[in-house]
Structure 1
Amino acid sequence: MPEFKTEAEERAFWETHDSSDYLDWRQAQSASFPRLKPSTKTISLRLPETLLDRIKIEANKRDMPYQSLIKAWLARDVNENRRS
């Protein structure tokens, strides 16, 4: 395995070389990272104020942040439509 002085040097190397020349991927084992948080991306979403107020009221009834409620609703809808 090559030795690298910097991360940038290593990155440049792997962009032009195949890792299978250095590793036997048949011996690779699966890894689990249970505490790894999924990546998130910030988006901007424009909603009518009355709709946002209603969502906040609903979230308050459920004792959860309104953004979390929106994410839960979106995930449920996407999962339901995927099964259709």
Structure 2
Amino acid sequence: MKKPLNIPKFKNEDEEFKFWSNLDLSEYFEPSDAVSVSFPNLKPTSQPISLRLPNMLLDKIKEVANREGVPYQSKIKTELGRVFLGVA
């Protein structure tokens, strides 16, 4: 495989954006250069949903959440995560 090209120095973000927007990255990087990254402080995206629950169930959820001192919607998210994802 050919040697990757050198990456130029940029004066500002706009110049860098234009440069990276119009080229093939494989000319500048080898697949073996890739490294695994993690973003521990990045919050996962969430999506609002509409969920109909029987009043009796919702009242019980609110009661338990109130007893634990947490908002009931947070309690629902926590319990769903625990049941379906094994998250404590």
- Scaled by the length of structure 2, what TM-score is found? 0.63
What residue number does 1:38 align with? 44
Query: Unaligned 5+ residue runs, structure 2?
Result: 1-6, 8-15
Q: CA RMSD of the aligned region, Å? A: 2.5
Query: Unaligned 5+ residue runs, structure 1?
Result: none
What residue number does 1:4 align with? 18
Of structures 1 and 2, the one scoring higher in RCO (CA 8 A, sep 6+) is: 2
Structure with max Cα Rg:
2
Partner AA of 1:48 in structure 2: P
Identity %: 45
Q: Displaced runs of 4+ in structure 1, greater than 4 A? A: none
What residue number does 1:61 align with? 67
- Structure 2 CA distance, aligned partners of 1:44 and 1:20? 44
What residue number does 1:76 align with? 82
1:42 counterpart SS class: coil
- Structure 1 CA distance, aligned partners of 2:76 and 2:54? 14
Shift of residue 3 of structure 1? 6.2
Check 1:46–1:18 CA distance in 2 against 1; reply closer, same or farther (3 A cut): farther
- Scaled by the length of structure 1, what TM-score is found? 0.65
Deviations 1:13-69 (A, max 9, x none): 5xxx86434421211222221111111111110112221111101100111111111
Whichever structure has more helix as a proportion of its residues is 1
